[in-house]
Homo-oligomer: A and B are copies of this chain.
């Protein structure tokens, strides 16, 4: 299967699972809250994080479909982080994935609550009775997601980002922000898929490295698309980061050296998958796709 086809079919599976999940809440949750949660969760998106969960499980020989709830949980954490990051007190963005941001539609209070709800329900979904994998693995997956999303991960990265705004951050600082703000969750998605799929220690180690590499590549590619001003590809206002004086890797390295770094990251992430057979082809395809869209 070609990677484009794989990504499309997996994204459709994830989308269907997300719609079903929201539907289950419908009778029990404050309608306005659920509407706001749904608005940001079931919005246009590539679903790269949930797909990484599924593809990593496949890479270690496990069946992907039973892990859909965990894939959804990863997307819920991602969606929550976007809703909160966009708030006026944070990045103050009006546009996200080509649509008005959550607080523009629902107001700040409901947007904060929708984010809180998405974050909390991610853990609810992962700890549900009927989720399939053995309890030890599920607990490990929860541990991964909490660590990636928490104070040492996404929340810490966003804090550093907020605090760095308006002053000149250098490359190590920018990379440290990226590693926590974006990289940690992408890496966690790969690890969650691997852990739930029953990876042995050596495979988990290699896949973690792959996840880390892909995490950095993803952010550099995103910033590069922003830098060269492709609003259509990113769904955000172009050069928004630059306009507010936010340091990015391409802004610090220049476009050409950033492209060089991306090629290197692509090679490294493929090398991390060397010991794996054709089961890891989706992960290989993802590495190529993430990088190539910005070259």
- Give me the interface of A with B, judged by CB distance under 8 Å: 25, 28-30, 32-34, 37, 84, 87, 89-90, 107-113, 115-117, 119-121, 123-124, 127-129, 135-136, 138-140, 142-143, 145-147, 149-152, 155-156, 158-160, 162-163
**Contacts A29-B152, A124-B147: A112 and B84 contacting too (C-beta < 8 A)?**
yes
Across-interface contacts of A123 in B (CB, < 8 A): 123, 142, 145-146
A108 to B123 Cα, complex, angstroms: 25
Q: Would A117 and B150 count as touching, CB distance under 8 A?
A: yes
Beyond the given pairs A89-B107, A112-B112, 9 more chain A to chain B contacts, judged by CB atoms under 8 angstroms and listed by A's residue number, are A32-B159, A87-B109, A90-B109, A90-B112, A120-B149, A121-B146, A127-B140, A127-B142, A127-B146
A-B contact pairs, 19 of them (CB 8 A): A30-B160, A33-B155, A37-B151, A87-B109, A89-B109, A89-B111, A110-B159, A112-B112, A113-B159, A116-B119, A116-B155, A117-B150, A117-B151, A117-B155, A119-B120, A120-B151, A123-B142, A124-B146, A135-B139
**Residue among A84, A150, A152, A160 facing the most chain B CB atoms (10 A cut-off):** A150
CB of A23 to closest CB in B, whole Å: 13
Please report whether the interface of chain A is mostly helix, strand, loop or mixed according to DSSP: helix
A108 to B162 Cα, complex, angstroms: 11
Across-interface contacts of A33 in B (CB, < 8 A): 151, 155-156, 159
A109 to B138 Cα, complex, angstroms: 32
Q: Which 8 A-B pairs have the closest CB atoms?
A: A89-B108, A124-B146, A120-B150, A127-B143, A89-B109, A33-B159, A123-B146, A117-B151
CB of A207 to closest CB in B, whole Å: 19
CB of A250 to closest CB in B, whole Å: 24
Q: Would B28 and A84 count as touching, CB distance under 8 A?
A: no
CB of A169 to closest CB in B, whole Å: 14
A138 to B143 Cα, complex, angstroms: 12
A250 to B163 Cα, complex, angstroms: 44
Closest to A129 in B: B143
A163 to B110 Cα, complex, angstroms: 9
Q: Would B127 and A112 count as touching, CB distance under 8 A?
A: no
Q: Would B143 and A110 count as touching, CB distance under 8 A?
A: no
Closest to A120 in B: B150
Closest to A140 in B: B127
Across-interface contacts of A112 in B (CB, < 8 A): 84, 87, 89-90, 112
Q: Identify A163's interface contact among B30, B116, B129, B163, CB under 8 A.
A: B30
**Residue among A87, A120, A136 facing the most chain B CB atoms (10 A cut-off):** A120
A160 to B31 Cα, complex, angstroms: 10
CB of A105 to closest CB in B, whole Å: 14
